[in-house]
């Protein structure tokens, strides 16, 4: 644990700076999240454990609300259960998934029970959006768990995204990056993007101005 972004969360007492912890991948296919929660509202960590036989029964804490949850390989109806991703869940979903690139023998969309010789489906491109070849891999470089995101990066036009003025950026840099991150509660990447004059979302820049300057202008 080396990132200040993790320390800003509701960090448990057993997670001291430079300690190790485990960040289980929660199964979205197998309804692994507690009821009412998803990847945007639930970051689950457990104390480091080198014995793999104990992984499936570890207890940990949510960085959002400090509630205690326990790992289980199957959901049993209790609210404090977290189901991690497993080969069995992935394989089961693969065998049941519908083939979206093909049509059933009668020309209708495929369903999980479709059988027979499949045909190719037609695709009409309404919009072309360039995407990155690889996913965001900052999590492999010692960053905080909130950066764990396997979605492909999309490259869209940035004409409508504002850029902070030169004078503002110079003034903000004098405050220091760490102080800016702490005051704005934005990620390190977002703060650096603003300071380096990169286009950011209007809401992000407005939130940053309000936190640092106390205004929305």
C-alpha distances out from residue 135 to 144, 148, 150, 151, 153, Å: 16, 10, 5, 6, 6
More confident position, 11 or 178? 178
Rounded Cα distance between 12 and 91, Å, is: 34
Burial of 145 (0-12, 13-18, 19+ CB in 10 A): middle
Length of the chain (residues): 217
Q: Is the pLDDT of residue 216 over 50?
A: no
Looking at the whole model, is its pTM more than 0.75?
A: no
Distance CA 122, CA 38 (A): 33
Q: Write down the pLDDT at residue 113.
A: 85
Mean pLDDT of 52-58: 87
> What is the C-alpha separation between 77 and 157, in angstroms, rounded?
45
pLDDT digits (tens, 9 = 90+) for 169-206: 999 999 999 999 999 999 988 999 999 988 898 889 99
CA distance 4 to 171: 23
Mean pLDDT throughout 85-110?
Answer: 84
Rounded to an integer, the average pLDDT of 30-54 is 83
Q: Mention every residue, 6+ apart, whose C-beta is less than 8 A from residue 36.
A: none
Q: Using DSSP, state whether 95 is helix, strand or coil.
A: helix
Look up residue 158 and give its two tokens. Answer: 């940035």
Tens-place pLDDT, residues 69-92: 988 887 777 778 888 888 887 887
Q: Residue ranges per domain, the chain?
A: 1-101, 166-213
The pLDDT score that the predictor gives to residue 140 is 53
Write the pLDDT tens digit of every residue in 114-166.
Answer: 889 989 888 777 777 777 665 555 555 555 554 555 556 676 665 678 889 88
């Amino acid at each position: 644990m080396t990132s200040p972004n993790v320390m800003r969360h509701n960090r448990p007492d057993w997670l001291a700076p430079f300690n190790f912890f485990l960040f289980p991948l929660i199964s979205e296919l197998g309804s692994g999240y507690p009821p009412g929660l998803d990847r945007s509202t639930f970051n689950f960590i457990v104390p480091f454990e080198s014995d793999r036989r104990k992984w499936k029964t570890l207890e940990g804490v949510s960085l959002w609300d400090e509630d205690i949850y326990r790992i289980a390989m199957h959901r049993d109806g209790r609210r404090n259960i977290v189901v991690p991703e497993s080969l069995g869940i992935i394989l089961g979903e693969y065998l049941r998934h519908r083939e979206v690139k093909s049509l059933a023998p009668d020309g209708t969309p495929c369903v999980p029970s479709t059988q027979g010789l499949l045909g190719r489906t037609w695709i009409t491109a309404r919009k072309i959006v360039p995407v990155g070849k690889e996913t965001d891999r900052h999590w492999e470089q010692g960053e905080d768990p909130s950066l764990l995101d396997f979605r492909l990066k999309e490259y869209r036009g940035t004409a409508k995204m504002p850029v902070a003025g030169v004078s503002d950026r110079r003034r903000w840099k004098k405050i220091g990056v760490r102080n800016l991150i702490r005051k704005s509660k934005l990620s390190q990447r977002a703060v650096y993007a603003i300071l380096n004059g990169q286009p950011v979302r209007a809401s992000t820049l407005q939130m940053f101005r309000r936190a640092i300057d106390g205004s929305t202008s």
